[in-house]
């Protein structure tokens, strides 16, 4: 349950240093004596919601070497697996490789604004989310009107939500909910197909590989965060 989940009271309380040791900023004199978390040179910008075993993260890390990316995963053993996977890659490759990727245990449906400030993120990935087929389970889906407002809050204008699923009904559900949300517009399909992140999402996620082995279909949809309207 959430009682065992640790999350910061606000984004400035989050200690990112242990997750991104290669990006810890030189502390100022004040900071050296402070009990505040050690700041990073740059903020997390890319989030993989329900990252599972981390295939997307480890494939994206070398493609976007200057962006910090974070997997959020609710299962503690799966989180530990991804953390070990990233430590091993860092050690094996050295030279700063994979320092930009990390994974933490979190319930992304509840605490996103505890981790990220308004407009902090440029990309959010939602890859093969649990389908929750039954109508009474639809409230457990990680795309909904309420959650889309949270994604809109943490995404910057121009930022993109990437979705992929092998469940057509869930694809339609996600498209319907993002289309209905005033903060998002669909990215045209030809543009989406030219985005290198889409190929990675299809081919490098563990679920994407499983679906390919079973010759299943994969439905992709991208949504861009619009500018806020002038008040
Ligand atoms: N994205 C990965 C992939 O494509 O291979 C994993 C997909 S798997 C079907 C869905 C993952 O989402 C599971 O690992 C599950 O534990 C995680 N998950 C489900 N609800 C979550 C939540 N509220 N917060 C964080 N992770 C969640």
φ and ψ at 37, to 5 degrees?
Answer: -60, 145
- Tell me the C-alpha distance between 97 and 89, whole Å: 8
Give the pLDDT confidence score for residue 145 in this predicted structure: 86
Give the pLDDT confidence score for residue 26 in this predicted structure: 85
CA separation (Å) from 164 to 50, 204, 208, 211?
Answer: 12, 12, 9, 11
186-200 burial, b at 16+ Cβ within 10 Å, e below that, comes to ebeeeebeebebbeb
Positions annotated as catalytic residues are: 130
36-66 burial, b at 16+ Cβ within 10 Å, e below that, comes to eebbbeeebbbbbbbbbbbbbbbbbbeebee
Q: Are strands 155-165 and 101-105 parallel, antiparallel or unpaired?
A: unpaired
Number of the ligand 1 atom closest to the C-alpha atom of 126:
1
H or E element in which residue 186 lies:
strand 184-186
Q: Is residue 91 lining ligand 1, measured as CB closer than 6 Å?
A: no
Secondary structure (3-state) at 189: helix
Q: Find the helix packing angle between 206-213 and 196-204, rounded to 10°.
A: 70
* CA 78 and chain centroid, separation: 15
Q: Is residue 52 lining ligand 1, measured as CB closer than 6 Å?
A: yes
φ and ψ at 71, to 5 degrees?
Answer: -95, 135
pLDDT tens, per residue, the chain with 231 residues: 555 788 999 999 999 999 999 999 988 877 777 788 888 999 999 999 999 999 999 999 999 999 999 999 999 999 999 999 999 999 999 999 999 999 999 999 988 999 999 999 999 999 999 999 898 888 888 888 889 999 999 999 999 999 999 999 999 999 999 999 999 999 999 999 999 999 999 999 999 999 999 999 999 999 999 998 777
- Tell me the C-alpha distance between 10 and 84, whole Å: 27
H or E element in which residue 164 lies:
strand 155-165
Whole-model pTM: value is 0.96
For ligand 1, mutation pick of 1, 2, 4, 52 (most atoms within 8 Å of CB)? 52
Distance 53 CA to ligand 1 centre (A): 9
Give the pLDDT confidence score for residue 3 in this predicted structure: 59
- Tell me the C-alpha distance between 126 and 201, whole Å: 9
- Tell me the C-alpha distance between 183 and 161, whole Å: 11
- Write the pLDDT tens digit of every residue in 170-189: 999 999 999 999 999 999 99
Distance 144 CA to ligand 1 centre (A): 16
Number of the ligand 1 atom closest to the C-alpha atom of 129:
10
Give the pLDDT confidence score for residue 122 in this predicted structure: 98
Q: Is residue 86 lining ligand 1, measured as CB closer than 6 Å?
A: no
Give the pLDDT confidence score for residue 114 in this predicted structure: 95
Q: Is residue 104 lining ligand 1, measured as CB closer than 6 Å?
A: no
- Tell me the C-alpha distance between 1 and 171, whole Å: 28
Distance 183 CA to ligand 1 centre (A): 24
Distance 128 CA to ligand 1 centre (A): 8
């Amino acid at each position: 349950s959430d009682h065992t989940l640790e999350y910061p009271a606000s984004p400035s309380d989050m200690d990112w240093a242990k997750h991104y040791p290669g990006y810890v900023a030189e502390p100022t004199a004040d900071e050296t004596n402070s009990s505040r978390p050690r700041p990073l040179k740059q903020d997390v910008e890319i989030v993989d919601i329900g990252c599972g075993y981390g295939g997307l993260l480890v494939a994206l890390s070398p493609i976007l070497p200057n962006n910090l990316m974070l997997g959020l995963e609710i299962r503690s053993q799966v989180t530990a697996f991804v953390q070990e996977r990233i430590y091993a890659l860092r050690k094996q490759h050295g030279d700063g490789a994979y320092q930009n990727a990390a994974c933490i245990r979190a319930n992304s449906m509840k605490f996103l604004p505890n981790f990220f400030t308004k407009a902090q993120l440029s990309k959010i990935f939602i890859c093969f989310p649990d389908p929750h087929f039954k109508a009474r389970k639809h409230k457990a889906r990680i795309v909904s009107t309420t959650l889309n407002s949270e994604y809109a809050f943490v995404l910057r204008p121009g930022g993109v939500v990437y979705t992929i699923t092998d469940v057509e009904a869930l694809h339609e559900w996600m498209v319907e909910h993002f289309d209905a949300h005033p903060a998002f517009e669909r990215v045209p399909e030809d543009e989406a197909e030219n985005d290198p992140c889409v190929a990675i999402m299809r081919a490098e996620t563990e679920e994407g590989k499983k679906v390919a082995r079973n010759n299943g279909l994969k439905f992709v949809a991208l949504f861009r965060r619009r500018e806020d309207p002038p008040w």
